[in-house]
Amino acid sequence: MPTSEAAAIAAELRTAMGKLTRRVKHEDSIPLGQIAVLGALDRVGALTTSDLAADQRVRPQSMARAVGLLMDKGLVTRRAHPTDGRKTLVELSEAGHAALEAERNRRAGWLAQAIDAGLDDEERALLARSTALLERLADY
């Protein structure tokens, strides 16, 4: 059973992380769901639409629509599955890699600017030390 202190910290951290995440995502020029698909393909590699839907916890029909929109933008391509001729794999195109990198840079750029403008030297040092703690919590 967590202590009341841990519970209070957890509640404040969850609120702050949610707010920061929403603010960083505000910098996106591609809709969040589509960015999530591009990110999954970047992390995992080529996937079927069904596997993408399972990864993103959405219905296959919804994922098919998202993949169609990304294909229309030239951000993903389809190719035949190497072992199952009935399936196709979706993968990032060169343009998809570039768009995802641009989104990541835009997010990181905004955050770096906010850190520079909004925090003093001591606060920046504390934040730098805190990132390791956040990583440990994420891996718990």
pLDDT, tens digit, for every residue of 88-126? 999 999 999 999 999 999 989 999 999 999 999 999 999
Architecture of the domain made up of 4-139:
Orthogonal Bundle (1.10)
Other beta carbons less than 10 A from residue 10's beta carbon: 12
> Mean pLDDT, to the nearest integer, of 2-25?
92
Other beta carbons less than 10 A from residue 35's beta carbon: 18
H/E stretch holding 76 reads strand 76-80
Helix axes 49-56, 32-44, angle to 10 degrees: 110
Asked whether the whole model's pTM tops 0.85, one would answer no
| DSSP symbol at 4 | H
Helix axes 49-56, 60-72, angle to 10 degrees: 110
1 falls in which pLDDT band (50, 70, 90)? confident
**Is the pLDDT at 63 greater than 90, yes or no?**
yes
3-state SS assignment for residue 45: coil
Distance between first and last Cα of the chain? 16
Contact 38, 75 (CB under 8 A): yes
